[in-house]
Structure 1
Amino acid sequence: MRDLWSEGLSLLRYEPTEMRIRVRHGGRVIADTTRAALVWEPRRVVPSYAVPVADLSVDLTRSSGEAVPAPDGILHPGIPFTAHSSDGQSVDLQVGEDRLAGAGFRPDDPELAEYVVLDFNAFDEWLEEDQPVLSHPREPYHRVDVRRSSRTVRIELDGVVLAESSRPTFVFETSLPTRFYLPREDIVAELEPSELRTTCAYKGRAIYFSAGGRKNLMWSYPDPLSDARDLAGLVAVYDDLVDVYVDGELRGRPSGPVAQALQQEFGLV
């Protein structure tokens, strides 16, 4: 299945949704539709929302900005929306006195001819029905399975034990490496709070800690979203930088295009 998913990355993909999607900016409703579609440009790992142009409350004009070529490889969430990997036309949205340059994209695809894809980060608020959306649109084929375990997990960095627990929580998330969340009491290393904050569309807002001389090595979700509520207060570590032993057996470090993209996004390589 992962191979099939990888093969599809090179294509422009889209999926209709029956959810009511609303977009707000500057105190105005920009779009309100029950005819939205999730759109993945080639090599994008997270989707954007496309809405019918007829359901927009603002005008579209040809973009005043220059086209940005998409870099090679996997396009992770850190790659700006304006870097397009499919043919089409970038457009600006005029919201009152605010001109949102390149915040829309009209793909050259007959099935999407009446749609405009919108830059999630260009707008103040997105709602799926009445629920706010964080970070980026959630896709229907993404799962986050949180499972408590009695297996022993030991985490080492350069031979120094950072944490060891016999009550870990495993997170199995679609297309991502398995992550291990441990009670804070089982973290041996001193955790130094970091200024870094990130947001996951499925798990919520994360805070970070430096440990073992590595900046932003560990993270936690103090108030996770409903799909990940059992992670509240637990601490995870980037397997990419440490040695993880499960029941005494050393695991290989994450690999593959998605793991590599994450490592590049967070400066781990």
Structure 2
Amino acid sequence: MATKISDQLQQLSLELRFEPTPKRIRALLGEHVVLDSRRAVIVWEPRRMVPCYAVPADGVVGVLSPAAPPEPTPLAPPVLHPGIPFSGHSTPGESLDVSVGGLTAEAAAFRFDDPDLAGYLAFDPAAFSWLEEDDAVQSHPRDPFHRVDIRHSCRHIRVSSNGTVLAESTSPVMVFETGMAERSYLPPAHVDWSQLIATDTVTLCPYKGAASYWRLAGASGGDVAWSYQEPLPLAGEIAGLVCFYDNLVDVEEL
């Protein structure tokens, strides 16, 4: 019987998963090195889609101490949203504070009870600055099984809100990203900028880089569009292009 791979991966998301990485991994708290290891693994806790790094204890430079008990975190959803803090663990273990150079990151490390990860400690991606070899890592580790495919297209895409056209193009760039809905990125010349107002929102993606955002002019709602002005090399072809949330405005293929 044939197997749909994505279904199998979805089932695996309920388990504690890890994958070794050959890269040298370092983390810094301020200017101080917290860990330095060539034997790191990438770890996904059960129901978490966003991974973190874990390293053997001999790669940890910072001082570890027991953390205060965390606030209870509801773990009912089938998938833990990336916004749920690192301290909301979904597998047994011990939360630890990390101290170095007079600085402390509270509950920023985690010692697993799982025997297959015995001796390894996971670290909060958001609490430290990270390096893979000598290159900075944004947001969280890249998933080695995650792809971002960028393709130029002649689809006719129209974006509107309450009947007002916000953008329309027959030369979008389509982005197909593992586990995500397909996205249409449109040239800025094909956007009606009188309908949008820039906001202060900035988000980081480990695959695409830092995104800036816009909301609808004359509306009190949140951000409806974003763009990577200076994307990471992997996503260089979408530099300056604009994408819209299809659940907040109408994105049609004509």
TM-score (norm: length of structure 2): 0.92
In the alignment, the residues of structure 2 paired with residue 243 and residue 97 of structure 1 have an alpha-carbon distance, to the nearest angstrom, of 51
In the alignment, the residues of structure 2 paired with residue 129 and residue 4 of structure 1 have an alpha-carbon distance, to the nearest angstrom, of 32
Q: Which residue number in structure 2 is paired with residue 175 of structure 1?
A: 179
In the alignment, the residues of structure 2 paired with residue 100 and residue 236 of structure 1 have an alpha-carbon distance, to the nearest angstrom, of 35
2:90 aligned with 1:85, yes or no? yes
Residues 68 and 82 in structure 1, CA contact (< 8 A), matched pair in contact too: no
SS, match of residue 126 in structure 2: helix
Residues 70 and 84 in structure 1, CA contact (< 8 A), matched pair in contact too: no
C-alpha offsets along residues 14-52 of structure 1, whole Å, 9 cap, x if unaligned?
A: 111110101111321111111000000011011000011
Select which of 197, 201, 223 maps to 1:196: 201
Deviation at 1:100, TM superposition (A): 2.0
2:137 aligned with 1:133, yes or no? yes
Deviation at 1:76, TM superposition (A): 2.1
Deviation at 1:65, TM superposition (A): 3.7
2:236 aligned with 1:229, yes or no? yes
In the alignment, the residues of structure 1 paired with residue 74 and residue 91 of structure 2 have an alpha-carbon distance, to the nearest angstrom, of 9
Unaligned runs of 5+ in 2: none
- 1:98/1:70 CA distance change after superposition, 3 Å: farther
2:211 aligned with 1:206, yes or no? yes
Residues 197 and 216 in structure 2, CA contact (< 8 A), matched pair in contact too: yes
C-alpha offsets along residues 205-241 of structure 1, whole Å, 9 cap, x if unaligned?
A: 0000112634310001110001100111110000122
Q: Which residue number in structure 2 is paired with residue 100 of structure 1?
A: 105
- 1:215/1:63 CA distance change after superposition, 3 Å: closer
Residues 70 and 85 in structure 1, CA contact (< 8 A), matched pair in contact too: no
Q: Which residue number in structure 2 is paired with residue 245 of structure 1?
A: 252
Q: Which residue number in structure 2 is paired with residue 257 of structure 1?
A: none
2:72 aligned with 1:68, yes or no? yes
Q: Which residue number in structure 2 is paired with residue 260 of structure 1?
A: none
- 1:210/1:41 CA distance change after superposition, 3 Å: same
SS, match of residue 155 in structure 1: strand
Give identity over the alignment, percent.
45
Deviation at 1:121, TM superposition (A): 1.1
Unaligned runs of 5+ in 1: 249-269
Q: Which residue number in structure 2 is paired with residue 160 of structure 1?
A: 164
What is the number of residues matched between the two proteins? 246
SS, match of residue 68 in structure 2: coil
Deviation at 1:2, TM superposition (A): 2.4
